Amino acid sequence: MVAALPKNLDEDGFYGIRLESIGGLGAHLAGQVLAEAGVLRLGLNGSHFSSYGSEKKGTLLKSYIRFCSPDQAVRTNCPVERPHLIAVFHEALIGREKVALGLRSDGIIIVNSVASPGEMKERLGLPGGTVGVVDAHGIAVAEKSRPNMAMLGAVTRAVDFIDPEAVKASIRETFGRHYPHLLEANMQAFQRGYDELRLE
How does pLDDT run across 57-106, given as a tens digit for each residue?
678 999 999 999 999 999 988 999 999 999 999 999 998 889 999 999 99
The predicted structure's pLDDT at residue 163: 98
Among 174, 136, 116, residue whose Cα is nearest residue 25: 136
Confidence check: pLDDT of 55 > 70? no
pLDDT band of 38, cuts 50, 70, 90: very high
> What pLDDT, on the 0 to 100 scale, is given for residue 8?
95
Q: Is the pLDDT of residue 56 over 60?
A: no
What is the per-residue pLDDT across 99-149, written as a single tens digit (0 to 9) for each?
A: 999 999 999 999 999 999 999 999 999 988 999 999 999 999 999 999 999
Kindly tell me the burial class for residue 72, based on how many C-beta atoms sit within 10 Å of its own C-beta (0-12, 13-18, 19 or more). Answer: middle
Indicate the angle between helix axes 147-158 and 183-196, nearest 10 degrees.
Answer: 40
Q: Quick check: 61 and 27 in contact, CB under 8 A?
A: yes
Round to whole Å and give the CA distance between 103 and 188.
30
Domains and CATH numbers, the chain: 15-199 (3.40.920.10)
Query: Could you read off the pLDDT of 140-199 as tens digits, one per residue?
Result: 999 999 999 999 999 999 999 999 999 999 999 999 888 999 999 999 999 999 999 999
**Taking a C-beta distance cutoff of 8 angstroms, is the pair 153, 171 a contact?**
no
